Amino acid sequence: MKLFSVFILVIMLTSCEYFNVKKTSSQAILKEELQTFNWNDVDEYPSFSVCDSISLKEDRKGCFQSVLTLHIWEFLKQKELVVSKDIRDTILLQFQVSKEGNLFLMDTKIDSLTTQEIPNIKSLLNESLDSLPKLFPAIKRGQQVTTEFNLPIIINVN
């Protein structure tokens, strides 16, 4: 009888509910992963080949921005812009780098005085992007992704 009682006790302790494994669907795992995913940050920022030797993420971002700014500045400098008033303006450029590595100027915020003095400034900015060196897209979890960013350009014409 004792043996039978122990057997019943063991069966009760190891009942089906005790060993019931909760199944998690792949969609539940995906939903949980997407909630913890930071969509506003990338593992590697877009970059040019001259920035490849830099290992720190923030330094690579700074290199990318300075190469882009310098390229636009040199292009505008070659155009020898003639104005009737002195211009000191910060133009805010909104870019998109596609996952294929193509750079698009999406929007510009330019002061009305700058637009009045240099009416073709938007076309000059777009034209400057045509001669950019090869651009590598941003990377998130090993995948190339499309990113958007803003870049201020200071215009100082005397």
Residue 124 and residue 79 in contact, taking contact as beta carbons nearer than 8 Å: yes
What's the pTM? 0.71
Q: What is the pLDDT of residue 19?
A: 58
- The mean pLDDT of the chain is 82
Nearest to 87 by CA among 5, 10, 158: 158
pLDDT(100) > 90: yes
pLDDT, tens digit (0-9, with 9 covering 90-100), for 131-149 = 888 899 998 888 898 999 8
